[in-house]
Chain A
Amino acid sequence: MAARGHVQDPNDRRLRPIYDYLDNGNNKMAIQQADKLLKKHKDLHCAKVLKAIGLQRTGKQDEAFSLAQEVATLEPTDDNSLQALTILYREMHHPELVTKLYEAAVKKVPLSEEYHSHLFMAYARVGEYKKMQQAGMALYKIVPKNPYYFWSVMSLVMQAISAQDEKLAQTMFLPLAERMVEKMVKEEKIEAEAEVQLYFMILERLGKCVEALDVVRGPLGEKLTSELRSRENKCMMMYQRLQLWPECNALSYKLLLKNPDDWQFYLSYFDSLFHLMDKSWSQPEEGEHCVEGPVQTTVAEAVKFVVDRMEEQDKKESRPLRGPYLACLELIHRLRQRGCPDEKELGDPLELMVQFFGKFGDKPCCITDLKIYLHLLPPEQRSQFKNRLGELVPLGEAGEDGFGFPGDTKALQRHLCVCQLSRALGLQHALDTEGKLRLITELKAHYHHGLQFGKSCLKTELQFSDMYCLMAAHVYIDLWTETGDENMLWQCLGMLEEGLSFSPSNAQFKLLLLLLFCRLGAFQPVVDLYSSLDAKHVQHDTIGYLLTRYAGSLGQFAAASQSCNFSLRFFHSNQKDTSEYIIQAYKYGAFEKIPEFIAFRTRLNQSLHFAQVRTERMLLDLYTEADVTLSLEESVKAMGVCPEEDDIPWDNMRDNRDLTVLVSWDPKDRELTEEHRRLSLEEESVWLKVRALTLRLLASLALLGHAPSPWNSDKTNENGISAKSSTLQTLLSQLDQTLETAAQITEKHTQYPFLGPPSSRLASALSSGSCHCQASALQLSLTLRELETTGLEMLSRCKGEVLEMKDGRLKTQPSLLETLVFFVETVCVVLWVASYSANVLRPLKSSLQKKKKKKKDSSTAMPVVMCGFQEWTGSLHGVVTQALDHVKGQEASLTALKLAALTLEEGYSQTQEECGFTRAAMDKVQTSYLGSLQEMGDLLRKRADSLKSLKI
């Protein structure tokens, strides 16, 4: 942590042991040592901070924080305290506090280059671009070093990039940045390559491509030396944006002469050529020629150019380059797209591809190269093509089984390539079952034969014939999916296991085995397979789905939880990690990397897989632990799930899954398409939404269940509860909507290529009924909630004295009695519904218990209903008890009411006799009220008893 070379300051010497303890992870000793030191030197603030670091690292965040704040409020200016606080705040994930720290420090020491620079970096860490701009300038004023000035310029560019309003970026931030750089250019103060890069970046973002070109071509451009071909690449970019096709064409031509294997320049060469042809561009007059050299404008020239490049390669002694030959096929493809007859000048695609195979058939990439141009062959030529290639494969005499084998690895690779091409041409798929079985026999024979070439291979190397094995597995899968013959699947697994035994590092074997085991529902072997792939870090995002898609859904909860954790750890470190390197990029002047790093961080934060593992991890915890070791409420609180909060970026979800990680040689019509990718993301997102809503609903339920009931609480609490019920309501209607969308999606029955993305759990969740059962159960909770609340409300309206004496007068409220009757009637209805529900649920529960005894697993949906019911009857009981108490209270006060004490005023034209009659009438009312109350009390008591029998 602290690499201090020269220890001169006595404080440094005193602090040294604490640093050492912290560095060695001995936090307890660090704290003790700090305490010791603080006894002697009360004002050694840094010791306090170091103690705080120790506390933070031993989980005492609150203590650490308040200790740190003690020092921070003193606004320290000593290096030790500042650095220690910076470390502490970063570990506490409070980088914004570091800015406050250095803001105070530069106020006290306004001329410190170091503190200003720390302040700039602190702002950079939290992305405070405007303040960075100011901090950069402040630095430059203290110490006029170019980097500081350009930090400020780059901060303007960042303000432009992050501006919501593109207009603001274009009219304010970028022009200002441009002027700042221009000023330095005019004063001839431009020093570093990074500064020119930044200038170019600004002009490019402003769309000032002509000016950008001038910079690159001019004297400033001479500074662009680090990256190879930096100036050419930048010029090409600008030519394309400016649609300067002559320059684009001439530069591509020039670069291809130098390096006839650089694919990008063939593309820009062809693009520009056709643009020029479309515009009927012609060479200008003498003297006005293109700055980049000769321009080619006709198909004839392009054909000649490509043919010349091929001839050049043909004549070469050394290894020929693939570029020119592929360029020839690319040109045919483009000419054909334009309906241009000149393609014939280049030759027959079949012949050209045969030629290509002749030259490169022994390279493993031959299939990858030719695959993109197979569409140039008409369907009727496919078999002929395969046969022609076969002629170029030297195989030995055919044996008894009718197969001839290659004599060396080059011949093997050629033969393999023909197999791969015939698969890509759809010839394998066209075979009938018998044909496919024979093909498998042939591939197996070649696989086994080829193993002899790899006898000396290390464990880390692949066998030369591995791909035969993989292809045989693919054909097995074809057979399995077509015929449903499970035997094919078992043989396929056997084939791959055998392959792995000879080639233990073959990732493709592992990936396919993994996929097949998952399809079979057997997750256990997958754990070892995946871990032997040694997938780490970013791979958790790109191929982690292979694990997380299946672990939980196949009932391996521990493994599921673990794989979610691996991924989560990666995602969580992203935020801190990337900020650090954004700062590094400022330091090293890698300005173009700054927006790139920020985009990268965003891409990870918005990852579909991140949201999935986040949600699944919490659901898993609830399923396995809530109401087992902790209550649901405690679990929800510990996870910090807030039902109101949705932290998933639904509109910007990034699908970072590598869906082509499994090798496939399937024909184009069976390959993964963009549409597949879109559908898969859509499906996964909807499933994620179902899961995320379930989680939030459970959280909402848990927090609601323990809220104080309005009967005993004041108004504000009542409001709080109604707000929370409304969350439940909102979430439920969102869940309903999502399930509707889900139903529409599953109706499409999208089939993905076998080696492509696995289908989500959506369809099976829906068809199992689990989604709807859970939704109904959750709906029930809302209904119950309403029931309880309205019940209590009704009861509260019964409150008050039906008969009381006030100011010596008798006051009646007969409506209270009526309300009480409504309440009692309602209680009856609710109880009958409850008893009906109990009858429905009772057999369900007993069957569930039987199942539970049989299987260890239990369905997750049912207990929610059961708990819901129990909660419901519980709260019903509560309401009835409260009602009974109320009735009892009323009875008591009625009985206690001594009407005799009432002095009826005489003189209101009432005689004493008349008063006697009035008293009698009052007595009757009182007795009647009492009678009503008693009857209702009896009824309620009976209901309360029957409620007890409602236990399920």
Chain B
Amino acid sequence: MLSKMTTLRAFTCDDLFKFNNINLDPLTETYGIPFYLQYLAHWPEYFIVAEAPGGELMGYIMGKAEGSVAREEWHGHVTALSVAPEFRRLGLAAKLMEMLEEISERKGGFFVDLFVRVSNQVAVNMYKQLGYSVYRTVIEYYSASNGEPDEDAYDMRKALSRDTERKSIIPIPHPVRPEDIE
């Protein structure tokens, strides 16, 4: 009855045909194919999907490693993290974040960062619980859609073990503009 399946495994192109239950969520963006392929080609290990015993996709995380090592800015970045409504409240997002952090540790990153809508209180709180703090606010990072105004983002960070003094997460008090971030 059950086909062979995996709980946590690498995201593949075929998953793009099955992720509607996750991506029909209003806060989850469905990107163009090039965007996904770029991540799969460059950082395949950072793109992980969770599958339920019945074969449904539960959620996924998509990330990358970037930044200058010399300037101690080499870090893991969470580009997208989403869990289908019916698989929420299982700690899955935390598990996926933990995996991304572990991969970033192995790559010698100084920290992990992510952007989140300031209005998405549920997500902000979750990241705080996972040890992330607001590093800075990015003004009008999310461009308007459906007549809504542009929205600010929090740039949240968590230091990894390489950043022993946790320098990377000292907050910047003034908000920045999207063009000023790297």
Residues on the B chain within 8 Å of A603, using CB: 13-14, 17
Please tell me if the beta carbons of B53 and A369 are within 8 angstroms of each other in the complex.
Answer: yes
Indicate whether A458 sits within 8 Å of B119 (C-beta atoms), given known contacts A581-B34, A581-B40.
Answer: yes
Please tell me if the beta carbons of A536 and B44 are within 8 angstroms of each other in the complex.
Answer: no
Residues on the A chain within 8 Å of B34, using CB: 577, 580-581
Indicate whether A368 sits within 8 Å of B56 (C-beta atoms), given known contacts A264-B4, A363-B90.
Answer: yes
- Measured in the bound complex, the distance between the Cα atoms of B61 and A732 in whole Å is 52
Indicate whether A368 sits within 8 Å of B30 (C-beta atoms), given known contacts A228-B102, A267-B5, A661-B21.
Answer: no
Decide if A725 is an interface residue (CB 8 Å cutoff).
no
Stretch binding the partner chain, chosen from B70-78, B81-89, B153-161, B166-174: B81-89
Residues on the A chain within 8 Å of B149, using CB: none
Decide if B12 is an interface residue (CB 8 Å cutoff).
yes
Decide if B1 is an interface residue (CB 8 Å cutoff).
yes
Please tell me if the beta carbons of B38 and A584 are within 8 angstroms of each other in the complex.
Answer: yes
Please tell me if the beta carbons of A267 and B4 are within 8 angstroms of each other in the complex.
Answer: yes
Set B4, B17, B103: member contacting A226, Cβ < 8 A? B103
Q: Could you tell me the distance in whole angstroms from the C-beta of A328 to the nearest C-beta in chain B?
A: 12
Residues on the A chain within 8 Å of B21, using CB: 661
Stretch binding the partner chain, chosen from A589-597, A640-648, A796-804: A589-597
- When C-beta atoms are compared, the residue in chain B nearest to A655 turns out to be B17
- When C-beta atoms are compared, the residue in chain A nearest to B107 turns out to be A226
- Measured in the bound complex, the distance between the Cα atoms of B23 and A533 in whole Å is 10
Please tell me if the beta carbons of A364 and B13 are within 8 angstroms of each other in the complex.
Answer: no
Decide if A505 is an interface residue (CB 8 Å cutoff).
yes
Residues on the A chain within 8 Å of B42, using CB: 584, 588, 590
- Measured in the bound complex, the distance between the Cα atoms of B15 and A785 in whole Å is 52
Interface string of A518-537 (1 = CB under 8 A from B): 00000000000000011111
Residues on the A chain within 8 Å of B125, using CB: none
Please tell me if the beta carbons of A534 and B53 are within 8 angstroms of each other in the complex.
Answer: no
Residues on the A chain within 8 Å of B7, using CB: 261-264, 323
Please tell me if the beta carbons of B20 and A661 are within 8 angstroms of each other in the complex.
Answer: yes
Interface string of B1-38 (1 = CB under 8 A from A): 11011111110111011101101111100111110011
Q: Could you tell me the distance in whole angstroms from the C-beta of B96 to the nearest C-beta in chain A?
A: 11
Please tell me if the beta carbons of B2 and A372 are within 8 angstroms of each other in the complex.
Answer: yes
Please tell me if the beta carbons of B33 and A228 are within 8 angstroms of each other in the complex.
Answer: no
Decide if A109 is an interface residue (CB 8 Å cutoff).
no
Set A319, A541, A578: member contacting B17, Cβ < 8 A? A541
Indicate whether A333 sits within 8 Å of B122 (C-beta atoms), given known contacts A537-B30, A538-B17, A584-B38.
Answer: no
- Measured in the bound complex, the distance between the Cα atoms of B163 and A288 in whole Å is 46
Decide if A227 is an interface residue (CB 8 Å cutoff).
yes
Residues on the A chain within 8 Å of B13, using CB: 596-597, 599-600, 603
Decide if A585 is an interface residue (CB 8 Å cutoff).
yes
Residues on the A chain within 8 Å of B6, using CB: 262-264
Interface string of A579-616 (1 = CB under 8 A from B): 01100110110101100110110010000000000000
- Measured in the bound complex, the distance between the Cα atoms of B13 and A284 in whole Å is 43
Residues on the B chain within 8 Å of A580, using CB: 34, 37
Q: Could you tell me the distance in whole angstroms from the C-beta of B57 to the nearest C-beta in chain A?
A: 11
- Measured in the bound complex, the distance between the Cα atoms of B172 and A448 in whole Å is 46
Residues on the B chain within 8 Å of A592, using CB: 44
A contact residues vs B (CB 8 Å cutoff): 225-228, 261-264, 267, 319, 322-323, 326, 330, 333, 362-365, 367-369, 371-372, 458-462, 505, 507, 533-539, 541-543, 573-574, 577-578, 580-581, 584-585, 587-588, 590, 592-593, 596-597, 599-600, 603, 656, 658, 661
28 A-B pairs within 8 Å (CB atoms) are namely A226-B45, A226-B103, A228-B48, A228-B102, A264-B7, A264-B9, A267-B2, A330-B53, A333-B1, A364-B87, A365-B90, A369-B52, A372-B53, A458-B121, A459-B26, A460-B26, A460-B27, A505-B25, A507-B24, A538-B17, A538-B33, A574-B33, A581-B38, A585-B41, A590-B44, A597-B13, A599-B13, A603-B17
B contact residues vs A (CB 8 Å cutoff): 1-2, 4-10, 12-14, 16-18, 20-21, 23-27, 30-34, 37-38, 40-42, 44-45, 48, 51-54, 56, 58, 85-91, 99, 102-103, 106-107, 119-122, 145
The 4 closest A-B pairs by CB, nearest first: A581-B37, A600-B13, A507-B24, A584-B41
